[in-house]
Amino acid sequence: MIVLPVLLENTSLEESYSLWQIGFNAEDPEEGEILYCLSQAAEAKNIPSVSESPGFYITWDFYFKSSGNVPIEVGINSSGLVSIEKYQIHTEAIKKMQDSLTDCLAVTQNLSDVGNLYTD
């Protein structure tokens, strides 16, 4: 059994889109590059642009099981991979931004209450 974790983030995404499919390509020794697997969603997942939702990300784990009759060699292009340390730094930065936004919203709410007159 092979588990492939996938992380999709909207770091430089200028326009949102509906995600319906995720595909995995493979290198066949006789055919060259082929579409190995296609995952189709029952419902589209909205992937927001970075301006709509800064720091948005979504993860999946894909499980593959081979018959064992044919040897499979897995090679992953590391250009899109992130180390655990960088992922933790990224996650902490998102949490700090979310906390700051929560604080800003609380201050804004308090400021809007200043002009209100309360009577019993």
pLDDT in tens, 45-79: 999 999 999 889 888 888 887 777 766 666 666 66
The tally of domains found in the chain comes to 2
40 in any annotated domain: yes
74 in any annotated domain: no
Domain coverage including residue 38? 1-66
| Secondary structure of the chain as H, E, C letters | CEEEEEEEECCCCCCCEEEEEEEEEEEECCCEEEEEEEEEEEEEEEECCCCCCCCCEEEEEEEECCCCCCCCCCCCCHHHCCCHHHHHHHHHHHHHHHHHHHHHHHHHHHHHHHCCCCCC
| Higher pLDDT, residue 94 or 109 | 94
71 in any annotated domain: no
